[in-house]
Amino acid sequence: MTPGPMALNFSETTSSEIFAQRLLQSNDDILPQVLAVAVAHLHAIIRELRPTQADWRKVIEFLTDVGHASDERRQEWVLLSDLLGASALVEEINSRRPKTATPNTVRGPFFRADVPQVASGGNISLDGVGEKLEVIGRVQDLDGDPVAGAEIITWQANAQGFYENQQPDLQPEFNLRGRFKTDDDGRFHYWTIKPCGYGVPDDGPVGKLLRQAGYPLSRPAHLQFMINAPGFETITTHIYDGSDPHLAEDAIFSVKPELVRTFERQGEGSWRVDLTFVMVRARQRTGA
């Protein structure tokens, strides 16, 4: 009887190769490829840094803490992805658009999909705390034609830099959140309060780790938007206050020149910002 091929011995140089050989190979499933690449990089990091058993246990404890810190109101895993630049890189790879189109940014950990509809001209500041901000916007295509009936979801931090789902006992439900529809001319209009920049939450394991490493955790003042319309690619993006001093060190790598706007003072305690969002038609899928 002819013996089978000799199995490789597990060692520093063969570890990732042995793992890859054990995976079930399938032309229809990308998972084995993804796992093989991920493990190869992980093993390369371990070989380079050469952690002790105690060091590796700290890594496992950190990942465990991230899981424990995540719940229906707080997504610590999303925060970790955002602060490591992974979320921004995925957006860059998958959201290539013409220069005149509005670029995507990361959605972040504070998004809520269950936002109520608000009438045009309504006020999404339910507690009235902060300086008034009038938002006037238009959604159009690459040719400048209006996108009527587009759905716009907006969310933002309050004047102290906190989102409503960070302070469920201090802010009204759905404070500074709203859902709007554009009119026949692609326009929308609402009132809110001028947002404040803030520090990324550092009371959880992700923030504590990066703070300890000396990583800047500032987020410049911004409004966030998700815009959907039939036949168009969804826009998920930020609009930044051009006067914020932390634009150059945004913790989640989302500041782009075309997303920085001037918030114009209209009087004592009142501001206005005019926005134009440019949508790209969805690519036609080919094949069965």
Check whether 1 has a pLDDT greater than 80: no
Check whether 12 has a pLDDT greater than 90: yes
Q: Which pLDDT value is given to residue 95? A: 84
Q: Which pLDDT value is given to residue 288? A: 39
**How far apart are alpha carbons 123 and 191 in whole angstroms?**
4
Q: How many CB atoms lie within 10 A of CB 167?
A: 13
Q: How confident is the model at residue 30 (pLDDT cuts 50, 70, 90)?
A: confident
Query: Which tokens belong to 279?
Result: 């949508």
Pairing of strands 198-199, 222-228: unpaired
Q: How confident is the model at residue 26 (pLDDT cuts 50, 70, 90)?
A: low
What would the pLDDT profile of 244-263 be if each residue is shown by its tens digit?
A: 999 999 999 999 999 999 99
Check whether 133 has a pLDDT greater than 90: yes
Q: Can you give the CATH number for the domain in which 271 is found?
A: 2.60.130.10
Q: Are 259 and 236 in contact (CB under 8 A)?
A: no
Looking at the fold, whether 16 and 97 belong to one and the same domain comes out as no
Is 245 inside a domain boundary?
yes
Query: What's this model's pTM, rounded to 2 decimal places?
Result: 0.84
Is 58 inside a domain boundary?
no
- The secondary structure element, H or E, covering residue 137 is strand 132-141
Region 219-248: what's the mean pLDDT? 97
Terminal Cα-to-Cα distance of the chain (whole angstroms): 47
Q: Which pLDDT value is given to residue 25? A: 67
Q: Which amino acid is present at 4?
A: G
Q: Which pLDDT value is given to residue 247? A: 96
Greater pLDDT, 266 or 108: 266
Task: Name the residue range of residue 183's domain.
Answer: 76-279
Q: Are 231 and 211 in contact (CB under 8 A)?
A: no
Q: How confident is the model at residue 201 (pLDDT cuts 50, 70, 90)?
A: confident
Check whether 6 has a pLDDT greater than 80: no
Is 43 inside a domain boundary?
yes
Looking at the fold, whether 97 and 212 belong to one and the same domain comes out as yes
Looking at the fold, whether 19 and 124 belong to one and the same domain comes out as no
- Partners of 135 in beta bridges: 190, 273
Is 1 inside a domain boundary?
no
Looking at the fold, whether 173 and 210 belong to one and the same domain comes out as yes
Total number of domains constituting the chain = 2
Looking at the fold, whether 194 and 273 belong to one and the same domain comes out as yes
Looking at the fold, whether 106 and 204 belong to one and the same domain comes out as yes
Q: Are 235 and 215 in contact (CB under 8 A)?
A: no
**How far apart are alpha carbons 110 and 73 in whole angstroms?**
8
Looking at the fold, whether 44 and 165 belong to one and the same domain comes out as no
Looking at the fold, whether 132 and 260 belong to one and the same domain comes out as yes
Q: Which pLDDT value is given to residue 245? A: 94
Looking at the fold, whether 80 and 157 belong to one and the same domain comes out as yes
Q: Which pLDDT value is given to residue 191? A: 98
Is 224 inside a domain boundary?
yes
Tell me the average pLDDT of the chain. Answer: 92
Region 166-194: what's the mean pLDDT? 97
Ranges 18-22, 42-46, 59-63: which has the least confidence: 18-22
Q: In 84-222, which ranges are continuous DSSP H helix?
A: 86-94, 205-212
Maximum alpha-carbon separation in the chain: 92
Q: How confident is the model at residue 27 (pLDDT cuts 50, 70, 90)?
A: low
Looking at the fold, whether 121 and 31 belong to one and the same domain comes out as no
Looking at the fold, whether 131 and 168 belong to one and the same domain comes out as yes
